[in-house]
Amino acid sequence: MLIFGKGTPSAAGLVKCPFCAELIQGEAIKCKHCGSDIQPGAKSQEPDPVLWSADNYFKLNNCDVVLERGAIDTLYISLIDLHPGQLPKDIYEQYKTQIRNLSNELPPQIRDSFRQTVKSKF
């Protein structure tokens, strides 16, 4: 292979695809492994840490604890936006542990409702 100039590729200039983690050229606009479009200066594939704060998902109304469904919509949209082209059920599976941990931090009165609402989104 060395005779034809096809030796082992150098790792110089290669970066990991943010979708499949395979090495690709730093200038690539499409991953040759998974076919994902690579955005220049692509953001991290991690959701905003604020999304995992339990305080976002409920409010106190008089003495009642009320689930903030708009915050659940924001969580859903944020996770979907981070993983274009992936099926929602696969995204849910990827974040299931974090979602369960988040629900455990919520007041007991709304935990089941939170879990059911999140699961129904995906």
Q: What is the pLDDT of residues 36-50, one digit of tens each?
A: 888 765 555 678 889
The reply to whether 50 and 29 lie within a common domain is no
CB 76 within 8 A of CB 69: no
Q: What is the pLDDT of residues 78-99, one digit of tens each?
A: 999 999 889 999 999 999 999 9
Q: Look up residue 3 and give its amino acid.
A: I
The reply to whether 49 and 93 lie within a common domain is yes
**Hey, is 37 helix, strand or coil?**
strand
Output the pTM of the full model. Answer: 0.63
The reply to whether 62 and 119 lie within a common domain is yes
Nearest residue to 14 via CA among 24, 22, 4? 24
CB 24 within 8 A of CB 33: yes
The reply to whether 31 and 58 lie within a common domain is no
